[in-house]
Amino acid sequence: QVQLVESGGGSVQAGGSLRLSCAASGRTSFSSYVMGWFRQGPGAEREFVATISRSGGSTSYADSVKGRFTISRDNAKNTMYLQMNSLKPEDTAVYYCAADRQRLGLPTRPGLYDYWGQGTQVTVSS
């Protein structure tokens, strides 16, 4: 089992940047988990943003953030990051980190992840 805590959210103007962090704790090694970022805007379903393999060597992004967001992880620090550049108002959402220990590959569906953080709000104004 793993506990996840997001931080780094806030309010920023369009074109700005934010860096989200997801700190993991628990008995199982952080490097055992595929990690992902998801977001949920007002009245919307939770949607995939990015995912990263256990080693950090492979990543996948939603088309809407490709080229603007970068996912990374530091297994020695039990932490995952999401660097968000060129932010747009449509990026406004609660951002969640998630962990999956069981599956191979880079899952993009929220239902495939076993553990979730509480979320951090990102607001982008025009």
* pLDDT digit string, tens, across residues 23-60: 999 998 999 999 999 999 989 999 999 999 999 999 99
CB 106 within 8 A of CB 53: yes
CA dihedral sign, ordered 86, 83, 120, 16: negative
Q: What is the mean pLDDT of the chain?
A: 97
Residues 70-106 have pLDDT tens digits of 999 999 999 999 999 999 999 999 999 999 998 888 9
The DSSP symbol for 126 reads -
Provide the strand spans (E) within 27-86.
34-40, 47-52, 59-61, 69-74, 79-84
